[in-house]
A and B are shown apart, each in its own frame.
Chain A
């Protein structure tokens, strides 16, 4: 994928820090955990930017502050020329559909009491889109390669791969610009994982999506990402294009990570 790095970034994260306060101990002393420390990166339109690091390294905290779930203690997040944390509630509500999350645990991401039709049309109803809801539903199913007959089923009647596709279809129905993929293929076996990787690659080209990919699986990241940031203890220790990172890893941690995920001995 060729990225025009002169173009305007879609997402610009600048000097982001996220702090968690340890509630139980605040009375005694103000104990804080710095999950993310001064992280800066940009995602250009049409690009897949990956954040790789150990569990508990702060990857998901970054995703949550971009989505507006966790207020960062410092730094700015600029999406499409708007500073997410400076916007009014109303403006933020308008911006929200453009950044869609796809979470790791697809089993818990779907309401077990709702049929697939209700799950997929819920975001449309909230936005007050009723007239062509059905057409949009069909279209998003078509994009992810699902048969419309599943619309009447409940999530527990679907296979793992189908559930993952429904989660994707729901994210796509609001026509987002950026998808935040949190471990998109880690919780299932590789035959489903391979389908999802192919689908994500296909969508990137046909729909023109940008991805922020969060993963600890470097073999997946290598297939999808254009640029990679390696995170350790809340700090980005290295960022580079995929090719250069794999050929010339600068930090020992990166070397270990590449060794461990590509060729387990």
Chain B
């Protein structure tokens, strides 16, 4: 394993066990997260983005079956395999090594505990920090996430804070144990554009300050393009395109990525967008071959039979498509 890679997923397949048959949620997911980068996973709702993240944290319910290999290098530098972990080791992993922020933040916080108690509880669970230092640590964390009105925040209940503040507070919780990786699942989806931009800028800044590696899950292509260094595009449970942001931005090769970027740019330029025709696939009606072929303008017979093989366009840009979009 390359030392630069802090998290590597190899051939991850995730199925839901059902009464009569298994439904495949994710197929053949391979990617690595480099140390100190923001990796965005882009895809529509139901494409399996959140499932992927929960599988890294071992948070999937029992009827989900995960196959494949996940390896991860700890803060201390040891290389471990998450897939061989039992529940107890996973609990140790969560928060300490991998921090996470979920989409619906307000329901992740305890509504009947003041924010201060929730943060102190978490820090106090770490025996390395002395009781006296707890308070300093709390203030430091809050300042880091841009919450300067510390005393008010600490004595408030979660519902008394605004949406943007709750998001920041959840970020402080996720960073309390100084994890090496942060997984952020649609952290800014419900915020208005001003708070959203502030939040994403904050993420980027904290990443720089702490040398954090971040997986940012989002359905907003614009956010991914502006804040991530690498992008993975997921469609129907498959990775269809992955690469550095620059490469994807200038030369999107998969027809789906191209469609998404075209819509994003026409929305920015105030022209009516041309939607991608058709509907996204559902788990109950899996599509054979490439999941995008019913909606693809380039699709041919071969696309219906098998999922295309990996094509490397350059050192840091690869796609799964038989008929990629040519540069114009």
A residues lining the B interface (CB < 8 Å): 53-56, 157-162, 186-195, 197-198, 201, 216-220, 222-223, 256-257, 260-265
Contact = CB atoms under 8 A, between A and B. Distances in A.
> Counting chain B CB atoms within 10 Å of each CB, which of A54, A56, A190 scores highest?
A190
A218 B193 CA distance: 8
> Counting chain A CB atoms within 10 Å of each CB, which of B44, B191, B193, B200 scores highest?
B193
Nearest to A201: B272
Interface in B176-198: 189-197
B23 interface: no
B192 A161 contact: no
A264 B43 contact: no
B267 A219 contact: yes
Contact of B221 (A190, A256, A262): A190
Interface string B267-280: 11010111110011
A227 to B, nearest CB: 16
> Counting chain A CB atoms within 10 Å of each CB, which of B46, B164, B279 scores highest?
B279
Contacts of B196: 260
Given A55-B162, A262-B268, A265-B226, A194 B192 contact: no
Given A223-B270, A264-B197, 11 more contacts: A55-B162, A159-B280, A160-B44, A160-B45, A160-B280, A189-B43, A219-B267, A260-B193, A260-B194, A263-B268, A265-B197
List the 3 shortest-distance A-B pairs measured between CB atoms, nearest first: A189-B219, A194-B275, A261-B193
Contacts of A198: 272-273, 275
A198 B263 CA distance: 12
A219 B284 CA distance: 34
A264 B282 contact: no
A190 B45 contact: no
Nearest to B197: A260
Contacts of A54: 192, 194-195
Interface string B42-60: 0111100000000000000
21 contacts: A55-B164, A55-B190, A55-B192, A159-B282, A160-B45, A160-B46, A161-B279, A188-B219, A189-B44, A189-B219, A190-B221, A190-B273, A191-B44, A191-B259, A193-B263, A194-B267, A194-B276, A201-B272, A218-B193, A260-B194, A264-B197
B193 A191 contact: no
A188 B220 CA distance: 9
Contacts of B192: 53-55, 216, 257
Given A160-B46, A160-B280, A201-B272, A55 B191 contact: yes
Given A197-B272, A201-B272, A257 B194 contact: yes
Contact size class for B? Answer: 35 or more
A162 B279 contact: yes
Given A161-B280, A195-B275, A190 B268 contact: no
A187 B274 CA distance: 19
B13 to A, nearest CB: 22
B129 interface: no
Given A161-B279, A198-B275, A187 B189 contact: yes
Contact of B272 (A55, A157, A158, A223): A223
Contacts of B280: 159-161, 191-192
B260 A190 contact: yes
Given A157-B284, A190-B221, A191-B259, A55 B193 contact: no
B220 to A, nearest CB: 7
